[in-house]
């Protein structure tokens, strides 16, 4: 039995469009920041036993089917690379060939709402592959494991590393060179603070899989983006990260998010992932950035309305949160402690302790009048404060999600 924890990640140069649907091979490189698993992560326990009569998986306590292509691709790749395993203390011996016959039990838990559009499948599939690779004693390094995780969910390959990560699109038809590499670890640029606005989505969005397919079939902009824009942007983003050049980092991240959503609009029928609240957040950040000498905050939006904002340091993060709480106060009966979650110390830097303090926040200086129309109560469900974080880790058996005696969820 083995338990692992894996982070989620947010792309600052976006992955949009596949050149191979089955192997999940992208049409451009992408770059992401790994988010601190203390705030957003998946924990997965995997177990093997001759007493298990079939492969089984539980997600957040509920049994789910493993028959989907994404799990099966990963299981096939993992089993074919599994090695001999021996635990003398427990008297367990598994030969390489046995892994094809033995059944697995897998229990996974996301410490954040699975349906909130927070890249749960990236953390989930990365954890699935990482935990099983450890259990099956695979000799492959993280980059080779990333190529397996990629076949479960494209962006999962970037969750095999902490810090700043590039998914290289690769050229090979079999996908062997479509892997993730670490550009820098999380300590390289630890001033950055990430604030996520979880935006209340009323409508079910178009899935990324079908959205990408539609964009590739119908958008002319997507080809220009993949061939002309992203290759140059990736080089510039790598340089910005290496030099910790925040103004360049922010300009590139915002421009790339906006171009990704422009591709969505250029798709037929058009895809709207952002909503009015997302647009209001962009205006708020753009207005503030323009009022300062150089950008203070970057924003980026995935295939949904949630805003991910990256502030250059704690001080700017507090000023950002102050603006966000001014524009998007919670309903009066909300507990401030559940409205801002994650690293709550940022809230102390803002100087707000309760709802009264939120109501009395001053209007940001870059907006002229404190008119009520500028406040949008209830448009944001909650905020998560976090930072760049570490990659996958193995946890102790005391944190296992499966009962060691029965192999069933605890």
Binding residues for ligand ADE (CB under 6 A): 42, 59, 108, 110, 114, 120-121, 124-125, 128
In the complex, the smallest distance separating the C-beta of residue 398 from ligand ADE, rounded to whole angstroms, is 20
Radius of gyration of the chain measured on its C-alpha atoms = 22
In the complex, the smallest distance separating the C-beta of residue 62 from ligand ADE, rounded to whole angstroms, is 11
Nearer Cβ to ligand ADE (109/189):
109
In the complex, the smallest distance separating the C-beta of residue 314 from ligand ADE, rounded to whole angstroms, is 30
Nearer Cβ to ligand ADE (42/155):
42
Nearer Cβ to ligand ADE (108/267):
108
Nearer Cβ to ligand ADE (103/114):
114
Left (φ > 0), alpha (ψ -120 to 50) or beta: where does 137 sit?
left
In the complex, the smallest distance separating the C-beta of residue 44 from ligand ADE, rounded to whole angstroms, is 6
Nearer Cβ to ligand ADE (73/120):
120
Nearer Cβ to ligand ADE (110/322):
110
Q: What is the 3-state secondary structure (H, E, C) of the chain?
A: CEEEEEECEEEEECCCCEEECCCCEECCCEEEEEECCCCCEEEEEEEEECCCCCCEEEECCEEECCCCHHHHHHHHHHHHHCCCEEECCCCEEECHHHHHCCEEEEEEEECCCCCCCCCHHHHHHHHHHHHHHHHCCCCCCHHHHHHHHHCCCHHHHHHHCCCEEEECCCCCCCCCCCCEEEEECCCCCCCCEEEEEEECCCCCCCCHHHHHHHHHHHCCHHHHHHHHHHHHHHHHHHHHHHHCCHHHHHHHHHHHHHHHHHHHHCCCCCCCCCCHHHHHHHHHHHHHHHHCCCCCEEEECCCCCCEEEEECCHHHHHHHHHHHHHHCCCCCCCCHHHHEEECCHHHHHHCCCCHHHHHCCCCCCCCCCCCHHHCCCCCEEEEEEECECCCCEEECHHHCCECCCCCCEC
Which residue do the tokens 């009323």 mark? 202
Q: Name the β-bridge partners of 32.
A: 11, 165
In the complex, the smallest distance separating the C-beta of residue 100 from ligand ADE, rounded to whole angstroms, is 22
In the complex, the smallest distance separating the C-beta of residue 46 from ligand ADE, rounded to whole angstroms, is 11
In the complex, the smallest distance separating the C-beta of residue 59 from ligand ADE, rounded to whole angstroms, is 5
Nearer Cβ to ligand ADE (125/196):
125
d(CA 178, CA 314): 35
Task: Please work out, in degrees rounded to the nearest 5, the angle formed at the alpha carbon of residue 40 by the alpha carbons of 274 and 348.
Answer: 90
In the complex, the smallest distance separating the C-beta of residue 180 from ligand ADE, rounded to whole angstroms, is 18
Q: Which residue from 238, 310, 339 is spatially nearest to 29, judged by alpha carbons? A: 238
In the complex, the smallest distance separating the C-beta of residue 149 from ligand ADE, rounded to whole angstroms, is 11
How many residues does this entry show for the chain? 410
Nearer Cβ to ligand ADE (78/311):
78
Nearer Cβ to ligand ADE (114/393):
114
| Residue nearest ligand ADE by beta-carbon distance | 124
In the complex, the smallest distance separating the C-beta of residue 77 from ligand ADE, rounded to whole angstroms, is 16
In the complex, the smallest distance separating the C-beta of residue 243 from ligand ADE, rounded to whole angstroms, is 35
Nearer Cβ to ligand ADE (23/156):
156
Nearer Cβ to ligand ADE (73/322):
73
């Amino acid at each position: 039995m083995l338990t692992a924890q894996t982070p989620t990640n947010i792309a600052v140069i976006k992955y949009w469009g596949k050149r191979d649907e089955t192997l999940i091979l992208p049409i451009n490189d992408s770059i992401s920041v790994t988010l601190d698993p203390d705030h957003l992560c998946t924990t997965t326990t995997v177990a093997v036993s001759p007493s298990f009569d079939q492969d089984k998986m539980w997600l957040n306590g509920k049994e789910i089917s493993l028959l989907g292509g994404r799990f099966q691709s990963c299981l096939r790749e993992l089993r074919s690379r599994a090695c001999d395993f021996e635990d003398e203390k427990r008297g367990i011996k598994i030969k390489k060939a046995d892994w094809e016959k033995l059944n697995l039990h897998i229990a996974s838990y996301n410490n954040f709402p699975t349906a909130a559009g927070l890249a749960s499948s990236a953390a989930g599939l990365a954890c699935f592959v990482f935990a099983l690779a450890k259990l099956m004693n695979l000799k492959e390094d993280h980059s080779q494991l990333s190529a397996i995780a990629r076949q479960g969910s494209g962006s999962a390959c970037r969750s095999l590393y902490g810090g700043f990560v590039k998914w290289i699109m690769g050229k090979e038809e079999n996908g062997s060179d479509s892997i993730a590499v670490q550009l820098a670890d999380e300590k390289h640029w630890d001033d950055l603070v990430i604030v996520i606005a979880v935006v209340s989505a009323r409508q079910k969005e178009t899935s990324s899989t079908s959205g990408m397919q539609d964009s590739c079939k119908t958008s002319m902009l997507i080809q220009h983006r993949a061939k002309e824009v992203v290759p140059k942007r990736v080089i510039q983003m790598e340089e910005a990260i290496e030099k910790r050049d925040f103004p360049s980092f922010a300009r590139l991240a915002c421009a790339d998010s906006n171009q990704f959503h422009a591709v969505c609009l250029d798709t037929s029928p058009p895809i709207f992932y952002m909503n009015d609240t997302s647009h209001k957040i962009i205006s708020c950040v753009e207005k503030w950035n323009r009022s300062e000498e150089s950008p203070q905050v970057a924003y980026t939006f995935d295939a949904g309305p949630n805003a991910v904002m990256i502030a250059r340091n704690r001080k700017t993060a507090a000023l950002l949160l102050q603006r966000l709480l001014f524009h998007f106060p919670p309903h009066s009966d909300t507990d401030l402690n559940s409205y801002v979650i994650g690293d709550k110390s940022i809230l102390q830097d803002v100087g707000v302790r309760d709802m009264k303090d939120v109501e009395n926040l001053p209007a940001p200086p870059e907006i002229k009048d404190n008119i009520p129309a500028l406040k949008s109560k209830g448009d944001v469900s909650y905020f998560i404060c976090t930072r760049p974080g570490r990659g996958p880790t193995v946890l102790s058996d005391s944190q296992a999600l499966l009962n060691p005696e029965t192999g069933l969820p605890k």
